[in-house]
Structure 1
Amino acid sequence: MSFARVRALVVVGMLAVVALVFVVVALVKDTQGNAGSAQGCPEDWPRADVTLRERKDVRIKVLNATDRPGLAASVGDEFRNRDFQVQKEGNQKKQVDDVAVLRYGPKGVGSAHLLRAYFLNAAAYEYDATREDDVVDVILGNGFRQLATTTEVNQSLGDLGSPVAPPMTCPMPVED
């Protein structure tokens, strides 16, 4: 074996040892081992369910906050066709200028995150810490035109990233 080949093997071996040391140090000194759990949270803060739900597990109410008659019913049907559980359709007297408003509580954080993708991240959030159910109110506003296609939803979810617990809440511990 030539000297150049031995020298190359020694250099590669040293790089492998250094990489192994870095990995071990990173794992031992990891300060984010409890990230995503509620450890260290104040007791009085609500626990937010930040699990990204499947469509079939998301329960919604569709409300029309525009002067367009029948909008809640037609959008509710679109959501049903996409496997969402539509609990109720109706009208809201106060008009909304936004595309949509998503109103939800701590148990609906992951569901609201998914629904935001159907409005291409243009829906406003209204978080209510006192709300007890996992239903998300979808309030359609004057800026609403149509729901996103499946491809657009997938791209939007990629842009949005993972659901995040709202301020003054803690994420629920992840169940294994």
Structure 2
Amino acid sequence: MSFARVRALVVVGLLAVLALVFVVVALVRDTQSNAGTAAGCPDGWPLADVTLRERKDVKINVLNGTDQPGLARHVADEFSNRQFQVKKIANEKQIDDIAVLRYGPKGVGSAHLLRAYFLNNAVTKYDPNRKDDSVDVVLGNGFQQLATTTEVNQSLGDLGAAEAPPGTCPVTDDK
């Protein structure tokens, strides 16, 4: 074996050992080891699930808050075509907003995703007493159409990560 080959093997070996030491130090000094577990959460605060859900895992109720007949059915069909789980379609009292999203602690991540379908123009209403993970989508008089897939992706990028509402502790459901 030539001297150059031995020298190369020594350098590669030292780099491997250095990388191993770096990884061990990073794992030992990790300050986020209990991220997503609500460690340090005050007693009695609800745990807000801030996990960004896939569309197929989001349960919604579509409510028509306009005087336009059949709007809820039409939008529910659009959401179904986009793989959302539409649980209920009904009428609601009229509102002037584009949409209102009502959700509880288990629906924070789902509501965050749905905000993107309204280009962050939907009013959000958090209910700390709500026990299910569904989101009520109330369509208002300002509603025109759902965002396209490209617009949704851009809107999600602009929105950033979901945040827990005040008075809750964020928790993620990482699998």
Q: What TM-score results when the alignment is normalised by the length of structure 1?
A: 0.80
Q: Which residue does the alignment assign to 1:11?
A: none
What is the DSSP-based 3-state SS (H/G/I as helix, E as strand, rest coil) of the residue aligned with 1:107? helix
What code does the residue aligned with 2:137 have? V
Q: Which residue does the alignment assign to 1:61?
A: 61
Q: CA deviation at 1:132?
A: 0.4
Give me the whole-angstrom Cα distance separating, in 1, the residues matched to 2:174 and 2:147: 31
Note the alpha carbon deviations across 1:62-120, whole angstroms, 9 max, x for none: 00111111110000000001000000111002x21111000000110110000000000
What is the DSSP-based 3-state SS (H/G/I as helix, E as strand, rest coil) of the residue aligned with 1:86? strand
What is the DSSP-based 3-state SS (H/G/I as helix, E as strand, rest coil) of the residue aligned with 2:102? strand
Q: CA deviation at 1:26?
A: 8.2
Residue 146 (1) aligns with residue 145 (2): yes
Residue 74 (1) aligns with residue 78 (2): no
Give me the whole-angstrom Cα distance separating, in 1, the residues matched to 2:88 and 2:142: 21
Q: Which residue does the alignment assign to 1:133?
A: 132
What code does the residue aligned with 2:61 have? K
Give me the whole-angstrom Cα distance separating, in 2, the residues matched to 1:111 and 1:29: 33
Give me the whole-angstrom Cα distance separating, in 2, the residues matched to 1:85 and 1:78: 11
Q: Which residue does the alignment assign to 1:84?
A: 84
Give me the whole-angstrom Cα distance separating, in 2, the residues matched to 1:156 and 1:41: 30
What code does the residue aligned with 2:146 have? L
Unaligned runs of 5+ in 2: 1-22
Q: Which residue does the alignment assign to 2:7?
A: none
What is the DSSP-based 3-state SS (H/G/I as helix, E as strand, rest coil) of the residue aligned with 1:61? strand
What is the DSSP-based 3-state SS (H/G/I as helix, E as strand, rest coil) of the residue aligned with 1:103? strand
Q: CA deviation at 1:129?
A: 0.5
Q: Which residue does the alignment assign to 1:36?
A: 36
Q: CA deviation at 1:37?
A: 2.5
Q: Which residue does the alignment assign to 1:9?
A: none
Q: Which residue does the alignment assign to 2:13?
A: none
Superposition RMSD in Å: 2.1
Q: Which residue does the alignment assign to 2:160?
A: 161
What code does the residue aligned with 2:152 have? V
What code does the residue aligned with 1:133 have? D
What is the DSSP-based 3-state SS (H/G/I as helix, E as strand, rest coil) of the residue aligned with 1:152? helix
What code does the residue aligned with 1:64 have? N
What is the DSSP-based 3-state SS (H/G/I as helix, E as strand, rest coil) of the residue aligned with 1:48? strand
Unaligned runs of 5+ in 1: 1-22
Residue 105 (1) aligns with residue 104 (2): yes
Q: What TM-score results when the alignment is normalised by the length of structure 2?
A: 0.81
Q: CA deviation at 1:33?
A: 4.3
Q: CA deviation at 1:174?
A: 4.5
What code does the residue aligned with 1:43 have? D
Post-superposition, which runs of at least 4 consecutive aligned residues in structure 1 deviate over 4 A?
A: 23-33, 173-176
